[in-house]
């Protein structure tokens, strides 16, 4: 993989924050849902993970790193098996018709899928 695992993990975190922000404005899974406007979480998203910022980070990656992200997402989603990594990566390079950032950010739960893909290909952190 060309992309550093730390970059993927950071993107996962920011994509999850965007998913929560773009949903109903609440983080689910807590005993009591936390309203984004009620505390520091909203400020963190604005400062560290706003949509434009995340888009900029993805677009600043080189072609190989962007292809790694797409292939990881596909493995995480089950489109490819971990053993098919070379084929997924080849296809990810071929699909560069539109913005990788727009593609990834348009997929619900992209952060979760990237995490699953990362775990599936057994990348050492």
* C-alpha torsion sign, points 74, 79, 82, 84: negative
107-111 long-range contacts, CB within 8 A, separation 24+: 107/73, 108/19, 109/19, 110/15, 110/19, 110/73, 111/11, 111/12, 111/13, 111/14, 111/15, 111/16, 111/19
Map out the domains of the chain as residue ranges: 5-120
What are the tens digits of pLDDT across the range 23-68? 633 344 333 333 333 333 333 334 444 888 889 999 999 999 999 9
What distances in angstroms separate CA 35 from CA 12, 24, 71, one per listed residue? Answer: 21, 9, 34
- pTM attached to this predicted model: 0.75
Which residues partner with 26 through β-bridges?
35
Residue 71 pLDDT level (bands cut at 50, 70, 90): very high
Mean pLDDT of the chain: 79
- Nearest alpha-carbon partner for 92 in 57, 55, 46, 61: 61
């Amino acid at each position: 993989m060309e992309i550093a695992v730390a970059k993927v993990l950071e993107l996962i975190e920011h994509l999850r924050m965007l998913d929560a922000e773009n949903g109903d404005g609440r983080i689910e899974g807590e005993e009591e849902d936390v309203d984004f406007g009620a505390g520091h979480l909203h400020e963190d998203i604005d400062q560290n993970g706003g949509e434009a910022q995340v888009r900029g980070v993805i677009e600043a990656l080189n072609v190989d790193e962007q292809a790694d992200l797409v292939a990881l997402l596909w493995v995480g989603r089950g489109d490819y098996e971990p053993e098919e990594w070379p084929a997924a990566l080849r296809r990810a390079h071929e699909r560069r018709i539109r913005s990788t950032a727009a593609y990834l950010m348009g997929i619900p739960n992209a952060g979760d899928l990237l995490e699953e893909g990362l775990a599936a290909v057994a990348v050492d952190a």
